[in-house]
Every structure is written in C-alpha cells, then in structure tokens.
Structure 1
Amino acid sequence: MATGEVVLFWRNPTSDPDQDGEQVVTTTSTPATSRWCTSEDPLWPSGTFLSELPQGIRRNMLDLGIRDRFAPGERLMRENERDTHLVLLLSGLVKVTSCLGNGHEALLGIRVPGDVVGEMAALEETPRSATVTACSGTEVRVVSSAELRLFLVHHPEAAVTIYRTCARRLRRANRWRLEFGGFPVKVRLARALVELATAHGRKGWRGVIVGVDLSQSELAALIGSTKETVHKALAELRRDGVIETRCQYMTVHEERLRRVAQLERGAS
C-alpha cells in the first residue's frame, strides 16, 4: 500500500456505493506505529485511559471489578439510568449515543480497547448522560463506583488520568460544536474521517485499518448532518479523487483528505 493512503471497508461489499444503501466507513491512515503503545504493553492504543497509566497501576486497575461480555448491538449502559458503575473496555468497540429533543440520535463518539465509559456517572453518582452500545463482540471489566473511588484515593495518578480523559472528551465536544456551525458538511466529514483514522488506526496488510463500522446514518449523526447530505459528500469525495471505492474496500488518499478537511499535516 502506498504511503498516504487510507483503507475504508464497506459493510455490504456487494452493494453499489453510489446507491442509498447503508455503507460502512472503516478508516485507516499512515503511519501507525506512533498510535500504539510500545512492545512492552502492545494491547492498548495510545491516547486511551489504560495506555496512559503507569504499568503497575494499570495492572492493579485491570484487577478491579468483574469481567463481562457483550454481543454486537447489546447495550452496556442506557441514557438516564441511575446505575453508577464504570466500564473498562478490554476488547471490541462501542459507540456512545444520546437522544436529541427531535427524536433523533446523536453519535457522540467511538470507544476502543483501553478506553473507559461511564466515568461521569461513576464519579458524580448522577444519571447516565449517554447510551453505550457494543459495535462488535466486546469484553469489559465492570467496576462499581465505590470500588473505583477507593482505588483513586490510593492511586492519585489514576485519578489524574481519568480526569484528564474527561477534560479531553469535553474539549473535543466543544471543538465539534464549533465546527458544526463553522464548516460545510464535506469539511466536517473529512475531519471526522481524519479523526477516526488518527484515533483508531491499526496496521493491516493493506494499510492502517480502523475496525469502526459506521453507516452513512451514523456518520451523519457524528457530524450533525443528514444521511442524504453525507451520501452526497461521499460521492463528491469519490469524484474528486479523495476516496476510491473497489469491491470490498475504499481507499482514501490522506493528503487530499487533509486538504479537504483544511487541516495541517499532523493535526487532527
């Protein structure tokens, strides 16, 4: 695979990508090595909660709670429920969504192994602010609020890390809110693809693959648009040579994608 190319896979490879069928956008980018932990602890993608903990504290953290598994489509937690446990993701992918006042659903983010979900309710003992749903088979550790609080008292480095995680997510949400009003849909879509590639890329035989299956409807929810408008933007990206679709995958040319996203090289 040539440098600067990104591979995206489609959920239904037999469908015509120019039709209105649901398409999955699974993004990749290059290079990959800087996005993953060192060989000393290769399981946790860089930037995730577990990757930022010192090794000894991380090992202790992974002993907390109980192990559980969720099937694709199964909910780990539901918006407005009052349970207060935290979930550590060990494998699989989940999506975080919230219901809007008009009855639609907003996709707030994707979480990968090494991430935590439910931290706000666990720390504040308030109702859930979002729903978390497994996108694939997902293995987790479920940690009660009481056990988490005791652990954080004895391991202040973990407390700092979890608050840093909360702050980073809030900053990202604020940035997206500004971009919704400041950029057209095609730019927001390109930025979303760059961010997914940067955050969730892993090296595959044809490039750096992100195992995040997003339909056009989910992409639209992520960037605050409609499925029809996202469909049109994807068609324009194909026409302009930013992305290419083949039998089972899509290739995105990273430099062109960043130009469309109006991003400097290395920014995301």
Structure 2
Amino acid sequence: MPIRAESCADCPVRDSAICAALDAQELAELAAIGQTRDFKKGDTIFALREDHYVCATIVSGAAKVASIDANGIERIVALLHPAGFLGQLFATTTQHEVTAIADSRLCLFPKGGFERVMERHPALTRSILERTYAELDRSRALTDLIGRRDVKARLAGLLLALARAASPSPCGNAAEFDLPLSREEMASLIGTTIETVSRRLTSMEQDGIIARKGARGLIIRDTPSLMRLAA
C-alpha cells in the first residue's frame, strides 16, 4: 500500500469531494496534512473496533462499509465511490469494517489534524454534514431493498443504486459501469442466493433492460424499465 503526497490540482475528485468547499488557501492547509495511499481489491481499509486515527476521501475505486455480527456474518450497510468520505470524526474506535471492493486510491488525513482544520473552517464542517446526510440516505435506500418482497425488485433497486453511485453527476445514473460487488456480495446484500442473482441478471439481459460486458461491466439499456422493476 504505497503512500505518497500528491498535488490537489491533479485530483480527479477535487470539485466533488468535501474539500471542494475550501478556497485555495484553505485547501493548501488541508493538503499539508494529507497523503494518498493505494489499496488493492479486498484490502481492509478500516478494521472493526480498531483505534480510529485517520479519515479519508476516496480518490478512485470503491469501498464497502459493513457491520459484523457475533456469528461473523457480514451485513453491508453502505457502498462508497470516488469523492466518498470515510471515517467517523470524534470517535475513538471504528464502528464498521471498511474494505476496498476495487483497486482504490484514498487521500488520508490524521483525524486530529482534520478536526482542527474543521474547527477553523466552517465551510468544511458544513460540507461533511451535507455528505453525511447524503450517505445516510443512500444507506437507508440499501436497507429498504431487503424489505421488498420480489427478488427482481431488490436486484433492480441495487443496480440503480450502483448506477447512481458510479455517476459523476449527483443527479443522474451512469449508463455503463463496472459492478463493484461480486455475485455473492450482491446476493448477501439483497437476501437471496448467488444462483438467483445470476438468473435474474440473465432475465433482465434477455428482456433488453441491461447488457453485460466482460466479467464486471454492466450497461443499462432501458432505465425506465429498470425503475419499474424496482418500484
């Protein structure tokens, strides 16, 4: 997991991450305490209940946030994509496990230093609050998937959620993207089996709603039909 310092001017999420709320001087202050680190798919970013020293912005890639019950069963509670913020400010230990679900690059900040920058710059605090509320809404939407009776509706809802997360625009869906979750993870998230996920994806493809491209690529060909399935 190489660590490096990089220029904020070259950051692909400069205009969409929490730091977008800062002017050039304020950004330089935050950049002075930041470093980037690369994580391979499957790497643990934050382990459950470890000492919580850092927070981070996802520069590229994706991560899943999961709770682990007493029996070791994982439950995904959030999916984060580029510009997503990781970390629980003012907490001393991590409450969830965070894992890279694609090769990822994160911009890491020591939590204490980040909190001090927040105290000096209210715009950063406001940006974090807005992003926290948005992430909470997305987490609730994922939880809502499980309450739907029809598996196809759950899967369609998940695909729409992934398309929204993969879109560079906060108001739209990506028409083509790589699935960040394995079939097993998708099945676990919506409460079904791997075989059922595969059958439902095949059915949607035969109906012309989606198309698969390689091992992970997904193209949404008919968004209105996918939305009707998810309703």
Fold match (TM-score > 0.5): yes
Distance in structure 2 (CA, Å) of the matches to 1:251 and 1:42: 27
Deviation of the 1:88 alpha carbon: 2.2
Q: What corresponds to 1:159 in structure 2? A: 125
Please report the RMSD computed on the Cα atoms of aligned residues, expressed in angstroms.
3.0
Distance in structure 2 (CA, Å) of the matches to 1:132 and 1:247: 27
Distance in structure 2 (CA, Å) of the matches to 1:101 and 1:224: 19
**CA separation of 1:255 and 1:163: change in aligned 2, threshold 3 A:** same
Q: What corresponds to 1:106 in structure 2? A: 75
**CA separation of 1:232 and 1:48: change in aligned 2, threshold 3 A:** farther
Q: What corresponds to 1:143 in structure 2? A: 109
Distance in structure 2 (CA, Å) of the matches to 1:49 and 1:222: 28
Deviation of the 1:209 alpha carbon: 3.5
Is contact 2:63–2:80 with CA below 8 Å preserved after alignment? yes
Distance in structure 1 (CA, Å) of the matches to 2:54 and 2:96: 14
Q: Deviations over 1:49-80 (max 9, x none)?
A: 345x2443445433323332223322111112
Distance in structure 2 (CA, Å) of the matches to 1:256 and 1:71: 35
Q: Does 1:200 align with 2:169?
A: no
Deviation of the 1:45 alpha carbon: 8.5
**Consecutive unaligned residues in structure 1, runs of 5 or more:** 1-39, 263-268
Q: What corresponds to 1:33 in structure 2? A: none
Q: Does 1:252 align with 2:203?
A: no
The one of 24, 30, 35 aligned to 1:66: 35
Distance in structure 1 (CA, Å) of the matches to 2:38 and 2:15: 23
The one-letter code matched in structure 1 to 2:53 is: T
Aligned to 1:231, the other structure's residue is in SS state helix
The one of 53, 59, 62 aligned to 1:93: 62
Is contact 1:44–1:50 with CA below 8 Å preserved after alignment? no
Deviation of the 1:87 alpha carbon: 1.6
The one-letter code matched in structure 2 to 1:174 is: R
The 4+ residue runs of structure 1 with deviation greater than 6 A are none
**Consecutive unaligned residues in structure 2, runs of 5 or more:** 1-8
Is contact 2:57–2:107 with CA below 8 Å preserved after alignment? yes
Q: Does 1:43 align with 2:9?
A: no
Distance in structure 1 (CA, Å) of the matches to 2:53 and 2:69: 22
Deviation of the 1:212 alpha carbon: 4.1
Q: What corresponds to 1:83 in structure 2? A: 52
Identity among equivalent positions (%) equals 24
**CA separation of 1:66 and 1:45: change in aligned 2, threshold 3 A:** closer
The one-letter code matched in structure 1 to 2:157 is: R
Q: Does 1:209 align with 2:209?
A: no
Distance in structure 2 (CA, Å) of the matches to 1:217 and 1:48: 30
**CA separation of 1:175 and 1:156: change in aligned 2, threshold 3 A:** same
Distance in structure 1 (CA, Å) of the matches to 2:35 and 2:142: 34
**CA separation of 1:158 and 1:71: change in aligned 2, threshold 3 A:** same
Distance in structure 2 (CA, Å) of the matches to 1:99 and 1:77: 13
Is contact 1:87–1:142 with CA below 8 Å preserved after alignment? yes
Deviation of the 1:102 alpha carbon: 4.3
Q: Does 1:115 align with 2:84?
A: yes
Q: Deviations over 1:80-113 (max 9, x none)?
A: 2122311222233222222234432222333223
Q: Deviations over 1:160-204 (max 9, x none)?
A: 11122222222332333334224422112111111211221369x
